[in-house]
């Protein structure tokens, strides 16, 4: 038996780190909340491109004087592109136009790149739908894993997923990064990815518990983690490769998305090693739990 890394030796420390991060995230989410993007908060966003750089302050003053005192004005990507956000004005859909008209008066020619208007009720709905989707996704996965494996694995998997999601949300909250629809999509994709990882590890633990009948549960889990380490790292590495390509070259619009995924892949990899295994240890997984032979294997032997 080749156990190079005794992962479970550090399980208490890892558990402590996870719990601390989880709690910090919860506190930050509770106190600061998320800085919700336009999709969820409602309001108007307008992106314009100037032919030569222009000072943001002058745009702010201009908007101030024309009845939009609380608008956010930032550069977007380059110093020629300017993004202006106006908080909701009771669902008035023509704010974008009037802002564009105000800005067109300046000496430097501008080009309209995009206008987004999201009414308040749509924002609320998207928020509710997003939350609901997350819960439904977690529940369906719980059911599937409980059906395919065993309820202790299901609990482990769902704990790992909740752990990942809450910590990513926490990071977005702590740094006040914009949380919009694409970040929500990334979060759900992280659920998918992290689960992928979790299942691969669980699958090996299950296999070892059935075939190797000598080792202690802790060694068994360590053995499984070691066997899967190569694969876990390679997959995380290739996924991170493309995500960094996306982050660097994909442009400003999907930067939040790729950032959430990068964080998610890192945390997901960690959680599939520590959170799941930790949960299985705490729930004292025994060989009896997996004694009943499932139709696994037999079903798929004919397949390539």
Partner 1 sequence: MNKFSIYQYLLILVVLVVGSLYALPNLYPTQPSIQVAYTDSGRSADQSLLNDLESILEESQTDYEDIFLRENKIVIKFKDVDTQLSSKTVLQNALLDKVIIALFLEPATPQWLKDLGANPVKLGLDLSGGVHFLLEVDIETAQQGRLELLLETYRKTFKEERIKFDESSIKDLKLHFKFSDNQSYNKGLKKFRDDSPVINGVQYIITERPSSDVLMLEYSDIALREIRDYAVGQNLITLRNRVNELGVSEPIVQRQGGNRIVVQLPGVQDPTAAKKIIGKTANLEFRMEANSRTSPLRKEEFNFKENEFQTAFLERSVIVAGDRVTNANTGFDESGFAQVNITLDMEGGRAMQKATSGNIGRRLGVLFVEQKTKSELVTNAMGESVIEQTSYIEKNIISLATVQAVLGTSFRITGVGSPAEASELALLLRAGALAAPMKFVEERTVGPSLGKENIELGMKSIVIGFALVVLFMIFYYRVFGIAANISLILNLVLITGIMSLLGASLTLPGMAGIVLTVGMAVDANVLIFSRIREELKEKDPQSAIRDGFSRAFVTIFDANVTTLITALILYIIGTGPVKGFAITLSIGIVTSMFTAIMCTRAMVNLVYGNKNIQELKI
User: Rounded distance, CA 13 to CA 19, Å?
Assistant: 10
Residue 267 neighbours by CB under 8 Å, 6+ apart? 163, 164, 167, 168, 190, 194
C-alpha–C-alpha distance, residues 199 and 202, integer Å:
5
Of 89 and 174, which CB lies nearer to partner 1 in the complex structure?
Answer: 89
Which residue pairs from 58-63 have beta carbons closer than 8 angstroms and sit at least 24 positions apart in sequence?
58/106, 59/84, 59/103, 62/102, 62/103, 62/105, 62/106, 63/99, 63/102
Least separation, in Å, of the C-beta of 108 and partner 1?
A: 16
CB of 148 to partner 1, least distance (A): 6
Residue 117 or residue 274: which is nearer to partner 1 going by CB?
A: 117
11 vs 155 by CB, closer to partner 1? 155
Report the largest interatomic distance among the alpha carbons of the chain, rounded to a whole angstrom. Answer: 80
CA dihedral 109, 94, 124, 173 (to 10 degrees): 20
Nearest to 279 by CA among 268, 271, 287, 270: 271
Structure tokens at 258: 């790729």
Q: How far is the CB of 294 from partner 1 (least distance, A)?
A: 10
Cβ at position 235, least distance to partner 1 in Å: 4
From the CB of 125, what's the least distance to partner 1, in Å?
9
Question: Closest separation between CB of residue 106 and partner 1, Å?
Answer: 18
Q: Which is nearer to partner 1, 101 or 106 (CB)?
A: 101
Residue number with CB closer to partner 1 (191 or 273): 191
C-beta closer to partner 1: residue 203 or 289? 203
Instruction: Using alpha carbons, select from 206, 195, 175 the residue that is nearest to residue 267.
Output: 195
Q: How would you classify residue 269: left for phi > 0, otherwise alpha for psi between -120 and 50, otherwise beta? A: alpha
Q: How far is the CB of 279 from partner 1 (least distance, A)?
A: 17
C-alpha angle 180-184-190 in degrees, rounded to nearest 5:
145
Residue 34 CB, shortest distance to partner 1, in Å, is 17
Instruction: Give the residue among 262, 247, 251 at the shortest CA–CA distance from 76.
Output: 251
CA distance 125 to 122: 5
Please identify, using beta-carbon distances, which residue of 69 and 297 lies nearer to partner 1: 297
Which of 61/253 has CB closer to partner 1? 253
Closest among 260, 264, 194, 261 to 232, alpha carbons compared: 194
Spatial contact of 112 and 135, defined as CB atoms under 8 Å apart: no
């Amino acid at each position: 038996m080749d156990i190079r890394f005794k992962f479970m030796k550090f399980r208490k420390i890892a558990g402590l780190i996870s719990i601390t991060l989880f709690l910090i995230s919860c506190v930050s989410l509770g106190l600061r909340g998320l800085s919700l993007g336009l999709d969820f908060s409602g309001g108007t966003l307008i992106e314009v491109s100037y032919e030569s750089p222009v000072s943001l302050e002058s745009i702010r003053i201009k908007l101030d004087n024309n009845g939009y005192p609380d608008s956010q004005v930032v550069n977007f990507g380059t110093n020629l592109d300017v993004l202006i956000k106006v908080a909701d004005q009771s669902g008035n859909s023509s704010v974008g136009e009037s802002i564009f008209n105000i800005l067109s008066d300046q000496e430097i020619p501008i080009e309209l790149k995009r206008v987004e208007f999201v009414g308040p009720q749509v924002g609320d709905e998207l928020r509710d739908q997003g939350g609901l989707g997350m819960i439904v996704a977690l529940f369906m996965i719980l059911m599937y894993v409980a059906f395919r494996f065993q309820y202790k694995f299901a609990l482990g998997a769902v704990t790992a997923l909740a752990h990942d999601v809450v910590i990513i949300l926490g990071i977005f909250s702590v740094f006040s990064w914009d949380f919009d629809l694409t970040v929500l999509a990334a979060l759900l994709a992280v659920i998918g990815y992290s689960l992928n990882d979790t299942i691969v590890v669980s699958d090996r633990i299950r296999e070892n518990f059935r075939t190797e009948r000598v080792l202690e549960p802790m060694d068994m889990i360590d053995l499984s983690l070691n066997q899967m380490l190569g694969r876990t790292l390679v997959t995380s590495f290739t996924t991170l490769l493309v995500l960094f390509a996306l982050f660097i070259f994909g442009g400003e619009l999907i930067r939040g998305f790729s950032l959430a995924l990068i964080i998610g892949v890192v945390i997901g990899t960690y959680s599939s090693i520590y959170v799941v295994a930790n949960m299985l240890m705490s729930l004292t997984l025994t060989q009896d739990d997996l004694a009943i032979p499932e139709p696994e294997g037999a079903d798929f032997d004919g397949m390539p």
